[in-house]
Structures are given as C-alpha cells and as structure tokens.
Chains A and B, each alone.
Chain A
Amino acid sequence: QKEVEQNSGPLSVPEGAIASLNCTYSDRGSQSFFWYRQYSGKSPELIMSIYSNGDKEDGRFTAQLNKASQYVSLLIRDSQPSDSATYLCAVIRAGGTSYGKLTFGQGTILTVHP
C-alpha cells in the first residue's frame, strides 16, 4: 500500500464546474496535510494546508480533512482553464527522523476545458 494515494486521473471538467480531488494516506501519525499545484515543467506551488478535521476554505479552494478515515480532499469551485495542472497531495507525520519530510502522492492531472 502506498503511503499517499490520489484518485487516478486524468480528471477533465468543464469551465465553471467543481473539480474534486481526493487523497488517502496510510500513516495515522500524519499531522499536516497539503495540496500543491504543479504546472508542467515547474516546481510545486502550495495552494492549501490543513491541520485539523473539517473544512478549510480559501477563495475558490476548499480542503477537507477526515483523520478517522485518513482522507483529505480538495474542491475547486468555478474551475478555470488556468487551473489545469497536476495536483499533488502531501503529508507530514510527527516525530522521528521522518519529521519534516513531505510524502507525496503520485499526483492527479486536472484539465479544465472551455
């Protein structure tokens, strides 16, 4: 079982729709959760972080965390063509030599078509 798994893509949505990206993680010691956006050939850019159960909203983005289910998601409302990118889910666990290490999922490619 992979430490962080994302829903298989690619995901294609029409402009203005809601894009839903999902991620599960295996390590119950994970304490911090991140969504990164990565355009082709570029480095990852942090778009959302979440640390406690529930929803966190920032503009068109909403992150949802459920630690009991070991599940984190990202909703993008009113999707725009400029949102087309690879979205990476990443987690950090507490303690030990792995502390501060980001563990990434394989990424989900999102395409928003006009």
Chain B
Amino acid sequence: ETGVTQSPTHLIKTRGQQVTLRCSSQSGHNTVSWYQQALGQGPQFIFQYYREEENGRGNFPPRFSGLQFPNYSSELNVNALELDDSALYLCASSLKVGSGQAIYGYTFGSGTRLTVV
C-alpha cells in the first residue's frame, strides 16, 4: 500500500509567478484535502476535492485553485504569488463513504516547502 506522495519537496518562486503542486493519494482513498502551514502555525484548510469536484473551501482567495483527477491524484495551483504564500503545503488523502458522510484514514503527505522571494 503506497502512502501520500507530494512533489516537488521544495521550490523557490518569485512574487507574481504561478506554481503547481502535485499530490498522489493513498491507494483506496478518494478524497484529497490541501492545507497551508505557515511557520509556527497549525495547518490551515485550503480546500477539499471529492469525485473530482471542490467539496469545501477555507478562507483562501480564488487565486488558490485545484484539480482532482480520475485516479484521485490532485494539483494545487497558486497564481500571482505573494510573499505571504511562503509556507509548507500539505496534501492529505482520505476515504469518504456513504454519500460522503463518513470519512476515514486521513493521511498526510510529506509536504512541499514553497518559498516566495
């Protein structure tokens, strides 16, 4: 059974640029959630994808967008990068069953460290 993998592990971008982060969910999982963790803070929920559709969103602007693919992998896209976007981005996969009303097995990937300069 494979775990959650994220790529790349680190990257540096310039303010105003765009970035795409990738996540492969754990085998058997159908839901992917993305979190942003600034230094010294707890992770903050960005959004969740279930059945290839956004299924919930936190307090993040529209320049944060995502996709989920038929194999349940996912991308997080951030446009017009700002210095405050520098953070650890975490992907978590899980399994939703029963019309999405039960969720199991939240598993985090190792994260992508984004630095915006």
User: What is the size, in residues, of chain B's interface with A at 8 Å between Cβ atoms?
Assistant: 30
Contact A97 to B42, CB < 8 A, known contacts A42-B110, A43-B109, A44-B108: no
Question: Can you offer 20 A-B residue contacts whose CB atoms are under 8 A?
Answer: A34-B106, A42-B110, A43-B90, A45-B108, A88-B42, A97-B57, A98-B56, A100-B31, A100-B50, A100-B56, A101-B33, A101-B48, A101-B56, A101-B58, A102-B35, A102-B43, A103-B45, A104-B44, A105-B42, A107-B42
Residues of B within 8 A of A (CB): 31, 33, 35, 40-45, 48, 50, 55-58, 88, 90, 92, 94, 96, 100-101, 103, 106-111, 113
For the complex with contacts A102-B43, A107-B41, 15 further pairs of A-B residues with Cβ separation under 8 Å are A41-B113, A42-B111, A43-B111, A44-B43, A45-B108, A46-B107, A88-B43, A92-B103, A97-B57, A99-B56, A99-B101, A100-B33, A100-B100, A101-B45, A107-B42
Contacts of B109 on A, CB cut-off 8 Å? 43
Contacts of B106 on A, CB cut-off 8 Å? 34, 46, 102
What 4 A-B pairs are tightest by C-beta distance, nearest first?
A: A104-B42, A97-B56, A43-B108, A100-B103
How would residues 34 to 55 of chain A score, 1 for a CB under 8 Å from any chain B CB and 0 otherwise? 1000000111111000000000
Contacts of A41 on B, CB cut-off 8 Å? 113
Contacts of A46 on B, CB cut-off 8 Å? 106-107
Min CB distance B10 to A, Å, is 10
Q: Which residue of A lies closest to B54 (CB)?
A: A97
Interface of A is mostly: loop
A106 within 8 A of B: yes
Q: A99 is contacted by which of B90, B92, B100, B113 (Cβ under 8 Å)? A: B100
